[in-house]
Amino acid sequence: MFKELIKKITEWALEKEEEAAKKCAIPIEEIEKQLKTLQEKRDELKRKCEEELKEIEELIKRVEKIKELEEKRCQLNSEEKKD
């Protein structure tokens, strides 16, 4: 819900800026500053997402290894019971 509110407020602000830009009311420097800020946020988010994905991949590998070991152990136990 909070994300949706922020999204709506941001959209409204962008619409107002677009209207002002049509009237040449916003200095290019201000637009460039906003653009730079957004690009920096995007890059930071991308870096964080990549780090999180690496961590998740490592966890997946560990759990897969545990599963493999458990399957082997269960298979050995099953074979021992047959003997």
As given in the structure block, the two tokens for residue 37 are 């800020």
* Per-residue pLDDT at 24 exceeds 80: no
Whole-model pTM over 0.75: no
Question: Stretch 54-75: mean pLDDT, rounded?
Answer: 94
* Per-residue pLDDT at 25 exceeds 80: no
* Per-residue pLDDT at 2 exceeds 80: no
Rounded CA-CA distance 83/81 in Å is 5
Question: Stretch 46-72: mean pLDDT, rounded?
Answer: 95
Question: Stretch 60-72: mean pLDDT, rounded?
Answer: 95
* Per-residue pLDDT at 23 exceeds 80: no
